[in-house]
Amino acid sequence: MKFKEDARVWGVLLAVGVMMLGLAVLGASGVAAQGQAGSGPPEWDPWEINPLDGPVDLGLTDPALVGAMDVHSHVDPSTPWNNGITRAIDFIEYAHLGKLRGVRGFVIKEHHSAAAAGYAYMIRKHIEPTLEVFGRMPLNFQVGGINVAAVDHFTHVRGGWGRIVEMPTIDAEWRYAGGPRPGREPRAPETAERRAVSRPWMALMPPGSPMAVSISQNGELRPEVKFLLEYVSRTRTADSGGRISISTGHSSGDEDVLLAREANRLGLLIVSPHGTQDMSPEQLQEYVRLGGFLELRQGGATAEWVRMVGAENAVVSSDCGFRHELLPTDCMAIAARTLREGGVSERELDLMFKQNPAKLVDIWPWRGSTTGSSSSAADRP
Distances (CA, A) of 94 to 91, 107, 122, 265, 359: 5, 11, 13, 36, 22
Q: How confident is the model at residue 52 (pLDDT cuts 50, 70, 90)?
A: low
Coil, strand or helix at 208: coil
Q: 138 Cβ partners below 8 Å, 6+ apart?
A: 109, 111, 166, 167, 168, 169, 170, 247, 249
d(CA 329, CA 168): 26
Q: For residue range 168-202, list pLDDT tens digits in order.
A: 999 999 999 998 888 888 989 999 999 998 999 99
Q: For residue range 312-326, list pLDDT tens digits in order.
A: 999 999 999 998 889
Coil, strand or helix at 190: coil
Q: What is the pLDDT of residue 300?
A: 86
Coil, strand or helix at 358: helix
Say how far residue 129 (Cα) sits from the centre of its chain.
Answer: 21
Q: Where are the domains of the chain?
A: 63-379
Q: Give pTM, 2 decimals.
A: 0.84
Q: What is the pLDDT of residue 120?
A: 98
Q: In CATH, what class is 63-379?
A: alpha beta
